[in-house]
């Protein structure tokens, strides 16, 4: 397009990750790494886009806003409407999870460094080598094809398997109905329980031209009981949209879903069930309404766990050539690959989250400019990969400076702990029906009518614990 020869590599995430993961040219990886980690800093573009002053100003404004509203710092203000109570509680959670995960991160790092030395001829692996070496190691350890996995999962059978799992959990049936829709691909299902219709969901699962990308659940209407007007005393049932962008059927053949797409389908269905299974009659707090931001992913991430149960996947699988179910051997490889370098991933997330919470917990305006030192201290505590001195990661950390996650980045790991711990209740129980009923009544049914922590404790009988997340991540909790 620019009339130049060769290839143009941008610094957008898909470009960057592709080079880091697959480029055999080590000098190219280093060049792209340096450009990526110094963008928006004094070290690139002659400092024209240096965000240092912007970060300082952002922290000042956040502190000023919080103190005008009667809080000591912005972290307290951020948490006021979240499930977590105080910055100290969040910091304790993050420090604990980091300490528990770090030994496994160190093992992950040692393994990939040894592989780089012994198999790739990289004597001293650097930051720009680790993703590349990690991908080569993953391929060597877990040799299976995502394309082959996809051949086992026809979309129709996957959807039937999803509905069967929801029925096992909550005794709810999905009944397809013919209603006006905005595209022929869209299907509408009513949710039925004990002969009564309790909600409805539109499912728009396939990609098409002009359709917004990604996957999401949104509500068309919420549950409410009318207290005035012509419908006084009547209850409005909730209706949701569930939208994905899976590969559409081609040439008369049924669409096949990857395992990642199955996870996405279960995830969004979890959000949908949170909205549809509510029993709260006040619209402002029924379903997903009024649920704290750091708890709203609990029902969705909870549903993802069932996509890692062999019996659930086997039930919805049928190979396109012979109708065979997913082999146990292939499933075991999928599980092993799922947890590959999980320790390194977790400590990296803890680095981001601790930095975020600490800089927004500062109550002294005069110390706001110390954020680079805060980051350095966090890295010394939790990181297993120390970046080069020129790394300016924070200057492009848009999540916490421009993306709404200020003093909230912890919520990614927080929701994972909640969902893993909730799922562990099903692992511990021999009665999926009774446990499912309790999850419905104590988590899904109550919506935002009470605090998410109260709801979790009502279901689990205690506050959340991180052991289940560590176990599901492939960690030996005793060793940790």
Q: Can you give the residue ranges of every domain in the chain?
A: 149-326
> Which region, left, alpha or beta, applies to residue 103 given φ > 0 means left and ψ of -120 to 50 means alpha?
alpha
CA atoms within 13 A on the CB side of 396: 17
What's the pLDDT at 252? 84
What's the pLDDT at 191? 98
Distances (CA, A) of 303 to 162, 370, 408: 10, 41, 23
Task: Characterize 147-176 residue by residue with b for buried, 16 or more Cβ atoms within 10 angstroms of its Cβ, and e for exposed.
Answer: eebbbbbbbebbbebbbebbeebbebebee
What's the pLDDT at 480? 40
The residues near 59 (Cβ < 8 Å, ≥ 6 apart) are 74, 359, 360, 362, 368, 371
Residue in 65, 106, 254, 268 annotated catalytic: 268
Look-up: residue for tokens 């604990």? 96
Which long-range contacts does 429-433 make (Cβ < 8 Å, 24+ apart)? Answer: 432/168, 432/169, 433/168, 433/169, 433/171
What's the pLDDT at 41? 97
CATH architecture for residues 149-326: Orthogonal Bundle (1.10)
268 included as an active-site residue = yes
Residues of the chain predicted below pLDDT 70: 476-480
The span from the CA of 220 to the CA of 239, in Å, is 5
The residues near 356 (Cβ < 8 Å, ≥ 6 apart) are 399, 400, 405, 406, 407, 408, 409, 410
The residues near 346 (Cβ < 8 Å, ≥ 6 apart) are 97, 98, 101, 104, 105, 413, 473
What's the pLDDT at 468? 94
Whether the predicted model's global pTM rises above the 0.95 cut: no
What's the pLDDT at 478? 52
What's the pLDDT at 477? 54
């Amino acid at each position: 397009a620019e009339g130049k020869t060769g290839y143009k590599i941008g610094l957008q995430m898909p470009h960057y990750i592709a080079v880091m993961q697959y480029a055999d040219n080590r000098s190219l990886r280093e060049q792209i790494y340096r450009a990526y980690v110094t963008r928006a800093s004094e070290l690139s573009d002659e400092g024209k886009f240096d965000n240092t002053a912007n970060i300082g100003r952002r922290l000042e404004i956040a502190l000023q806003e919080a103190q005008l509203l009667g809080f000591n710092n912005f972290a307290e203000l951020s948490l006021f409407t979240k499930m977590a109570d105080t910055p100290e509680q969040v910091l304790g959670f993050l420090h604990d999870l980091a300490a528990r995960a770090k030994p496994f991160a160190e093992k992950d790092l040692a393994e990939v460094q040894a592989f780089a030395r012994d198999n790739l001829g990289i004597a001293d692996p650097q930051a720009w080598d680790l993703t590349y070496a990690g991908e080569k190691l993953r391929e060597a350890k877990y040799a299976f094809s995502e394309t082959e996995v996809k051949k086992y999962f026809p979309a129709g059978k996957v959807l039937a398997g999803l509905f069967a799992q929801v029925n096992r959990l909550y005794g709810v049936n999905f009944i397809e109905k013919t209603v006006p829709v905005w595209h022929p691909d869209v299907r509408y299902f009513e949710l039925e329980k004990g002969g009564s219709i309790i909600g409805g969901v539109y499912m728009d699962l396939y990609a098409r031209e002009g359709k917004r990308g990604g996957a999401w659940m949104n509500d068309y209407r919420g549950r409410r009981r009318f207290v005035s007007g012509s419908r006084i005393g009547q209850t409005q049932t909730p209706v949701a949209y569930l939208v994905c962008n899976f590969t559409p059927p081609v040439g008369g053949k049924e669409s096949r879903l990857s395992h990642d797409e199955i996870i996405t389908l279960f995830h969004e269905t979890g959000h949908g069930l949170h909205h549809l299974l509510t029993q709260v009659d006040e619209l402002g707090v029924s379903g997903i309404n009024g649920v704290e931001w750091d708890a709203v992913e609990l029902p969705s991430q909870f549903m993802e766990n069932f996509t890692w149960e062999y019996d659930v996947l086997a039930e919805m699988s049928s190979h396109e050539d012979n109708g065979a179910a997913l082999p146990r051997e292939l499933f075991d490889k999928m599980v092993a690959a799922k947890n590959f370098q999980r320790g390194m991933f977790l400590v990296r997330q803890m680095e981001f989250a601790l930095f975020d919470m600490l800089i927004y917990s500062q109550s002294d305006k005069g110390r706001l400019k110390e954020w680079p030192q805060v980051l350095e201290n966090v890295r010394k505590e939790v990181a297993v990969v120390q970046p080069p001195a020129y790394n300016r990661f924070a200057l492009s950390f848009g999540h916490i400076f421009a993306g709404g996650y200020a003093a909230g980045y912890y919520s990614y790991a927080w929701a994972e702990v909640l969902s893993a711990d909730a799922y562990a209740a099903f692992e511990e129980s021999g009665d999926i029906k009774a446990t499912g009923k309790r999850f419905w009544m104590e988590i899904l049914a109550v919506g935002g009518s009470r605090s998410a922590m109260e709801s979790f404790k009502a279901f689990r009988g205690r506050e959340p614990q991180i052991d289940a997340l560590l176990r599901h991540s492939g960690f030996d909790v005793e060793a940790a």
